[in-house]
Amino acid sequence: MKAYFYDNAPGDQRLPHDSGKTVSEEDLAKLGVVYHRFSSLDGVDGLAAARGYRNRDEITVSPEKMGDIYEEKVKSFFAEHLHEDEEIRYIRGGQGYFDVRNKGDEWVRIQLEKDDLIILPAGIYHRFTTDETNFVQAMRLFQDEPKWTPLNRSEDLDGNPHRKEYVSTFLH
């Protein structure tokens, strides 16, 4: 895992966009972002049990697996959004980027690769993209039935209870 401020330069979202200003794991934790590295599924299984994650699936994001919808899907994942549940992803292969908003509403880019696991709290604004290799395989974990409902950023979301809880807990 590598985290840094996103440079906001024009260009393909899949490029590193590394500003050269690093962000520590401790700073990510202050945003509610939890990071682990597990070289085997045993660690993932233990974390899942401790956090009450009973369901999981795997997704491969690549042109080979997704065909003609790949580019459209990658663009949709990159739209700024939040979820009303934690988002937990364990990278099984390839790599990609999660971008999260910090306290100053700046983008922090988190580069993840095989064996990295990230937990994003409910209510955090974020987005995702593959890197320029156009391949990532990830395990998604869920507390209940698998659901992935993105709520795109808007003023209306300021009143969302999950967003309000996130702001009061981490952005006060």
Q: Three-state SS across 2-51? A: EEEEECCCCCCCCCCCEEEEECCHHHHHHCCCEEEECCCHHHHHHHHHHH
Rounded Cα gap, residues 4 and 20, in angstroms: 7
CATH number at residue 86: 2.60.120.10
Residue 81 known to bind ligand: yes
| 60-113 pLDDT tens trace | 999 999 999 999 999 999 999 999 999 999 999 999 999 999 999 999 999 999
Distance CA 19, CA 63 (A): 28
**Percent of the chain at pLDDT above 70?**
99
Residue 143 confidence class, pLDDT cut points 50, 70, 90: confident
The pLDDT score that the predictor gives to residue 27 is: 97
| Domain membership of residue 56 as a residue range | 2-166
Quick check: is 78 in a domain?
yes
Query: Worst-scoring range by mean pLDDT, 20-34, 121-135, 146-160?
Result: 146-160
Kindly state whether residue 172 falls inside one of the protein's structural domains.
no
Query: Would the pLDDT of 146 be above 80?
Result: no
- 36 is known to lie in a ligand binding site: no
Number of domains in the chain: 1
pLDDT given for residue 167 in this prediction = 97
Does 87 carry a binding-site annotation?
A: yes
In a domain, 128, yes or no: yes
| Residue 148 covered by a domain | yes
**11-20, 27-36, 115-124, 142-151: lowest mean pLDDT where?**
142-151
171 within a domain of the structure (yes/no): no
Across the range 141-167, mean pLDDT stands at 91
Give the pLDDT confidence score for residue 98 in this predicted structure.
98
What does pTM read for this prediction? 0.95
pLDDT for the residue numbered 97: 98
Give the pLDDT of residue 132.
Answer: 96
- E strands, the chain, are 2-6, 18-22, 34-37, 55-61, 81-82, 87-101, 107-113, 116-120, 126-130, 136-142, 151-152
CB–CB of 12/132 below 8 Å?
yes
Strand partners, 55: 142
Its sign, for the CA torsion 83, 24, 129, 91, is negative
Residue 172 in marked binding region: no
Give the CB-side neighbour count of residue 101, counting CA atoms within 13 A.
Answer: 18
